[in-house]
Amino acid sequence: MASVVFYFQVHQPRRLRRYSIFDSEPNYFDDWRNEQILRKVADKCYRPATRLIRDLIHEHEGRFRVSYSLTGTVIEQLRQWAPDVLDLFGELAETGCVEFIAETYYHSLAFLYNRQEFIDQTKQHCELMQELFGQQPRVFRNTELTYNNDVAHVVEQMGFDAILTEGADHILGYRSPNFIYRPPNSEQLRMLLKNYRLSDDIAFRFSNRGWPEWPLSAERFAGWVDQINGNGYVCDLFMDYETFGEHQWADTGIFDFIRALPGYVMAGGKNDFITVSEAIDRYPVVGEVDVPHMISWADTERDISAWLGNSMQSNALHDLYALTDGVVGTEDGILIDDWRKLQTSDHFYYMCTKWFADGDVHKYFNPYESPYDAYINYMNILDNVRARIAAAGARAAT
Amino acid sequence: MRILMLGWEFPPHISGGLGTACYGMTSGLGDLGVEVCFVLPTAVPTSATSHVSLRSPTDVRRKRRRTETEELEHVEFRRVEAALQAYATPESYAEEIRRSRQVSRQVEEDEAAADEQSPVPADIRQGGSFVRGGAGVHYDGDLMGQVNRYARLALEISEEEEFDAVHAHDWMTYPAGLAVSAATGKPLVIHVHSTEFDRSGEHINQQVYDVERTGMHGARKVVCVSQLTKSIVTSRYGVPPEKCEVIHNAVELPERAEVSMKPIGRDEKIVLFLGRITMQKGPEYFLQAAKKVIDKYPKVRFVMAGSGDMITRMIELAANLKIGGHVTFTGFLRGDDVDRVFRMADLYVMPSVSEPFGIAPLEALSRNVPVIISKQSGVSEVLTHALKVDFWDIDEMANKVLAVLRHQPLQSALRQHGQIEVRRMTWRDSAAKLKQVYESLTAPAAR
C-alpha cells in the first residue's frame, strides 16, 4: 500500500508600504494592496479549492484526507477581508479528515536568530489552531521547510511528534523520500520528507507545455503514485495551497485534475490518502537522516540563500533581531506585533539578488522593482521601530 | 567589409557620450574584421594623449584639409574642415561664434607659446570651445552652414574611398550621409544617439527636427541606442518600427592600475553628478535632492562635474538652497580627471530628464561606484543592479542617496553585482549586432 500525504501551505505576508526615510508615521503596511491581493487569491484559490476539498471528502466518504498549515498572518487577513474562507476551513476541520500543522505564527526565520522568539511564535500558532479548529497540532513545519538537526531537537523538546522537511537529494543520497525517518539522537521525533519530483509535477510543471508529460492527467499521476507501492509507504506531496487557481490558473485544468485524482489513486483499493499524524502512527521509522546544514524547499539549491544569501539580507535580519530586547521591553503590544510582522520571511525573500536580472519566480512574487528597493524600504522601517523604542524609553524615564 | 562612418567627435576630444560610443563601436567592429573610415570635422588640439593618435594637418589648403592618420587597427580617420560643435543648437552656435571671434586672436597668440610649455591642450584651457579651429576656417556663424559644408566635404572623401555602407551618427552628419548614399548608391545607416526632443524637451528647433526626420526617412536602417529612443523615433518622427534596430551601448572596462585617490582622513562621502549641466541632464533635481540629503546627513559633498548652459543657474540654486558649502563645481573634466573623480565618489547619480542611453553609469559601475539612474534613460533598460528613480521624484532620490550612504551592505551588493553586470556589456556584442545590420543591407538579396 502507498499512502498519499497531501500537505498544503496557506500563507500571505503583510506587505509593507513604501516607506521613505522622510516618513515618520508608525504604520508600515500596505493594507490597500494586501486587501486587493487577499481578495483576489480568495476568489481564485482559497474559496474554490477549499470547497473542492470539502466536496471530495464527502464524495469519498472520508477516505480523502489532507493536511494544512495556515500562518497567523494569512488568518488575520482572512478575518479582515474574507472571513467566509475561515468558515470553509472550519467545515474542513469538522469532517475529521483534515489535520492542521503548527508553524511559527508570523512565518518567520526566528529559529536562526532567537530561540525563545521561535518558541513563543510556535506556541502562539498552536493556540490559534486550537481556537479556530479545535486541534492541538502534533506535527510541526518550519517556515519554507527550513530544517536542520537543531530545529529537530528544539521541536522534539517542545513535544511535537513529527516534522516536515524537503526530501532533498543531498541529504537522502540513494535513499527514497517515501519512508518515515528520524533525526540523529532523537527518541520520538519522526521526519516526513517531501517527494519533490511528484510534488513539483503538480506545483510547477503542471501547466508547462514544454514538459513531455503535458498535459498531465490524474490517471497518469495516480499511476506514478502506484509505482511507490512495494518501494515505500508514503507519497509526500507538499505544496503551496496557492498552486490551485493562483500559480496554476483554473484554465490549466488544475481543479479538474484534483477532482479526479482521489478516484484514480484509490481505484483497486491498493492506495489511500492519510494525514501527517496518521502517517507516523501507521508506518515505522526505517532510518536516520542527518542534516547538519540548513535546508529548505526553495529554488534548486534547497538551501536558505533565498532569504539569507546576500549582505543586505543578513544585515536586515541581524538588525531586526538586534531589536528584540528593546521591542519586547517596551511591553507595547502594537509595537511588538508590528515588529513580529516584520519577521515574515517574505520581506527578506524580496531582497534576494539570485537571478534577479533574469526575472524569474522571485520577480513574479515581488512587490518591489528591485531587491535594493526592498532593502531600502525595510531599513527605513527599522529606523522608525528604533525611534519608537527610544520614545518609549524616554516616556518610561519621565 | 568597409564602412564609411560619419561622426563629429572621437576620443580624446569629446564632450559627451557620442565620442565614447564611436570609439567603443569602431574598436568592436575592428575586432570583427570590419574596417572603418571615420570622417571627423576639424578643430581638435594635438597634444592630448590617447592611443588614437590624431595629427594636425601640415598642409593647409583652402578647399579641404586632410590629416595623416593612423590609429585603431581597422579604423582610418579622414578629417574635414567643418566646425561642427558638440551638442550645439543653431542658437548656441551663433552665440559661441560671437564669443570665439572675440577671443580667437588672443588664443592664437597664446597658442604658440603654450603648446611648447604646457601639457594641457589649448582648447581645454579655453574651456572646451572649438575656437582652436581658428586659422584657415571660415566661420560664418551658422551651424547649418557647417553641417552642409561637412556634407560637401564628406561627399568628396567618399569619391576617393571604397566602402560597402555609410553610417552617420546624429543629426549633424545626416545630410552628409544622405548625400554620400545618393551619390554612391551605398546603403545608409543612421544611428540615433539622441533626438531633438531629448535635447530640447518640447521646445524643439524645427530646422533640426527636419534634418533628423529627413535623415531617418532617407536611411535604409535606423539604429537606436535604446527602446526609449526607438519609441521617440517611431512616435515623433513617424519612422516605421520595423525599420528601427535597437543596439544598446556598452562600456570599455578601465585598466586595472588604480591608486586610491581618496585623500587621507576624508570623512565626507562624495555623491557625483557627471555630465553636461543642461536641462536634459536634470541638474536641478540633483541639487534639490542634495538639500534633502544634507538636512539628514551633513557629512556629504555633492560634486557636479561638467559644464553647460545651466551652470550659473545651478550655482545660484545651490546658494539659494543654502547648501553651497556642500556642493563643488569642477567644470568640464576629461581623461584622467574623470577617472580620478570616479575613484573619489561613493555614489554616482544620473538624474536625466531624458537620456537616450547614458554610458556614464556603466563607466561608474566599471570603476566600482554604485549608481542611481533616472528611469527616463535608455541605460535603465539594460542595467538591473542600479537604483532607479523618476527624475522628478526628489524625495525618492534623496531617500536612495541616503540609503547608499548609510548602509554599507547596500553599497557592497550594488558594487558586487554591478561589476558583474557591466562586464557582460561589451562593445564587441554591440558591434556584432551592427555588423548584422550592415550585412542585411549589403547582402545581394537586399539590393
Residues from chain A contacting residue B300 (CB–CB below 8 Å): none
**B118 pLDDT higher than 80:** no
Residue B261 pLDDT more than 70? no
Report the mean per-residue pLDDT for chain B.
Answer: 82
Looking at the predicted structure, is the pLDDT value of residue B51 above 50?
A: no
pLDDT > 90? residue A300 = no
| Residues β-bridged to residue B76 | B37
Q: What is the pLDDT of residues B306-348, one digit of tens each?
A: 999 999 999 999 999 999 999 999 998 877 888 889 989 999 9
Question: How many alpha carbons fall within 13 Å on the CB side of residue A144?
Answer: 25
Q: Please confirm whether the linkage preceding B12 is cis (ω < 30° from 0).
A: yes
Are A367 and A34 within 8 A, CB to CB?
no
Task: Write down the residue that cell numbers 472550519 correspond to.
Answer: A90
Band (A44; pLDDT cuts 50, 70, 90): very high
pLDDT of B125 higher than 70: no
| B345 contact partners, CB below 8 Å, separation of at least 6 | B270, B271, B272, B303, B364, B369
Domain A3-288 in this protein, CATH class: alpha beta
Q: Looking at domain B269-423, what is its CATH homologous superfamily?
A: Glycogen Phosphorylase B; (3.40.50.2000)
- Domain borders along chain A are 3-288, 305-397
**Most B-contacting residue of A320, A376, A386 (CB-CB within 10 A), to test interface:** A376
C-alpha cell at B194: 539622441
Residue A356: the pLDDT is 66
Yes or no: say if A15 and A367 are a contact pair by the CB < 8 Å rule.
yes
Residues of A with a catalytic annotation lie at 144
With contact defined as beta carbons under 8 Å apart, do B129 and B13 qualify? no
Q: Residue B105: which H helix or E strand, with range? A: helix B90-117
Residue B17: its pLDDT value, please?
Answer: 78
* A89 touches A81 (CB < 8 A): no
Which pLDDT tens digit goes with each residue over B272-315? 999 999 999 999 999 999 999 999 999 999 999 999 999 999 99
Contact assignment for A20 to B395 by CB distance below 8 Å: yes
Average predicted confidence (pLDDT) for chain A:
95
The cell numbers describing B314, all together, are: 545651478
Q: What gap in Å lies between CA B208 and CA B175, rounded to an integer?
A: 11
Name the grid cell of B103.
577671443
Residues of B with a Cβ under 8 Å from any A Cβ are 292, 296, 384-385, 387-388, 395-396, 398-400, 402-403, 406-410, 412-414, 417, 421
Asked if A176 and A235 count as a contact pair (C-beta separation under 8 A), the reply is: no
Residue of B nearest to A358 (CA): B384
- Residue-range domain boundaries for chain B: 2-92+137-246, 269-423
What pLDDT does B333 receive? 87
- Say whether B388 and A357 touch across the interface (CB within 8 A): no
A357-366, B13-22, B64-73, B196-205: segment of lowest average pLDDT: B64-73
Q: Indicate which of A352, A353, A372 best probes the interface with B, i.e. most B CBs within 10 Å of its own CB.
A: A372
Three cell numbers written together for A116: 525563545
Note the pLDDT tens digit of each residue in A213-270: 999 999 999 999 999 998 999 999 999 999 999 999 999 999 999 999 999 999 988 9
B255 CB-contact burial (10 Å; exposed 0-12 / middle 13-18 / buried 19+)? exposed
Q: Describe the crossing of helices A115-133 and A149-157 by its angle, rounded to 10 degrees.
A: 60
Taking the C-alpha atoms of residue B167 and residue B87, their distance in angstroms, rounded to an integer, is 19
Which of the pair, B386 or B64, is modelled with greater confidence? B386
Averaged over B229-241, what is the pLDDT?
Answer: 97
Cis peptide before A215 (omega within 30 of 0): yes
Q: For residue B18, what pLDDT is reported?
A: 86
pLDDT in tens, B55-96: 322 222 333 333 334 446 677 888 777 767 656 666 666 666
Beta strands per DSSP E along A24-138: 66-70, 98-100
**B1-15, B38-52, B136-150, B383-397: which has the minimum mean pLDDT?**
B38-52
Strand intervals (E) in B193-334: 221-224, 244-246, 269-274, 300-305, 327-331
Does the domain at B2-92+137-246 match CATH 3.40.50.2000? Answer given as: yes
Say if CB A139 and CB A160 are below 8 A apart.
Answer: yes
Q: Give contacts of A373 with chain B, Cβ < 8 Å.
A: 387
The mean pLDDT value for A28-32 works out to 96
Q: For cell 559627451, what's the residue?
A: B16
- Residue B411 clears pLDDT 60, i.e. is over it: yes
Comparing A297-311, B42-56, B280-294, the range with the smallest average pLDDT is: B42-56
Burial class (CB in 10 A: 0-12, 13-18, 19+), B236: middle
Least confident span in A27-31, A106-110, B28-32? B28-32
Percent of the residues in chain A that have a pLDDT greater than 90, as a whole number: 90
pLDDT for B88 equals: 63
Output DSSP code: residue A42: I
Entry field: residues in chain B? 447
Q: Do domains B2-92+137-246 and B269-423 have the same CATH topology?
A: yes
Check residue B72 and give its pLDDT: 61
Beta bridge partners of B350: B373
Taking the CA of residue B371 and the nearest CA in chain A, the distance in Å comes to 12
Residue B31 C-alpha, separation from nearest chain A C-alpha, in angstroms: 28
Whether pLDDT at B119 is above 90: no
